[in-house]
Amino acid sequence: MFSEIADGYETFDHVASLGQDLLWRPRALWALQRFRRGQPEVRRALDIGCGTGELTRQFAREFPAASVVGADFTGPMLAAAARRTRGRRASSRIGFVRASAGGLPFAPATFDVAVSAFVVRNLPNLDAAFRELRRVLRPGGTLLTLEITEPPSRLVAGLFHAYFDSVVPWLGAAIGRAGPYRYLPESLRSLPPRQQMIDRMRGAGFGRVVAIPQSSGIVTTYLAEASGSL
């Protein structure tokens, strides 16, 4: 499914989100910087489920001392990420690897920061993925997860679902990709509510955890600090 939409993935996301995703990722990275205030400079970072590398490239620009690894299990997504990154600013500090969140090919405590955008709702075993991300983070490292969430306001939720459940799949059908974009609203239903997400991060070995809503709660930035020991 993800192989099928790799080439037009970024463009469709910009259109389907009415351009809001161009704000969500930078805001999440700004929140990350505030969350990490007082900590050492980021030297190594992981973008899990990197897709076409949009967040990977933004992270490398925002953190100029960091080497960034983008990991994804979908070959065509990684190929698109490599093409889009080649020759770009900070490309010398970016690499891509094929890997799954459930079994990362990295030693414990490899990274200072791990990030993901619109990924966790696709993971078949969320708790195992959080434990694996905690394993590859150094003690005191930070996990950032940006995800679509259920708005707390009933009015906003009604408008959101009217659009997300109907218009987005219709847009997908219009470009001949009905199946993958019909999956998007279905995947949201499998995602735990905010407090459960926080509890599951803590259960996976993260101490300080915060959830920061954006756009009236349509998306949420989760930030979690890895505890001192596994």
Asked if residue 168 is part of any domain, the answer here is: no
Whole-Å CA distances, 205 to 65, 134, 196, 220: 27, 6, 15, 20
Residue 210 covered by a domain: yes
Percent of the chain at pLDDT above 90?
Answer: 60
**118-144 confidence digits (pLDDT tens):** 888 888 899 999 999 999 999 999 999
The tens digit of pLDDT for each residue in 54-65 reads: 999 999 999 999
State the pLDDT at residue 2. Answer: 56
Q: Write down the pLDDT at residue 173.
A: 52
Structurally, the chain folds into a number of domains equal to 1
- What is the domain range of residue 213? 9-151+193-225
pLDDT of residue 99: 95
pLDDT band at 116 (very low <50, low <70, confident <90, very high): very high
Task: Name the most confidently modeled range: 75-84, 88-97, 128-137.
Answer: 128-137
43-54 confidence digits (pLDDT tens): 999 999 998 899
- Give domain status of residue 211, yes or no: yes
Asked if 103 contacts 130 with a C-beta cutoff of 8 angstroms, the reply is no
Listing DSSP states for 178-223 in one string gives HHHHHHHHHHHTTSPPHHHHHHHHHHTTEEEEEEEEEGGGTEEEEE
CA dist 117 and 147 (Å) reads 6
The answer to whether residue 4 sits within a structural domain is no
- The pLDDT of 164-183, averaged and rounded, is 57
Position 143 scores a pLDDT of: 98
pLDDT at 12: 57
Residue 230 resides in a domain:
no
Predicted pLDDT at 184: 63
Instruction: Taking residues 208-223, report their average pLDDT.
Output: 95
The more confident residue out of 36 and 175 is 36
Q: Which residue has the higher pLDDT, 175 or 27?
A: 27
Burial tier of 195 (Cβ tally within 10 Å: 0-12, 13-18, 19+): exposed
In a domain, 83, yes or no: yes
pLDDT of 115 reads 98
Is residue 184 in a domain? no
Q: How confident is the model at residue 7 (pLDDT cuts 50, 70, 90)?
A: low
User: Does a structural domain hold residue 172?
Assistant: no
Stretch 29-37: mean pLDDT, rounded? 97
Supply the CATH number for residue 116's domain: 3.40.50.150
**pLDDT tens figures, 179-213:** 555 556 566 677 889 999 999 999 999 999 999 99
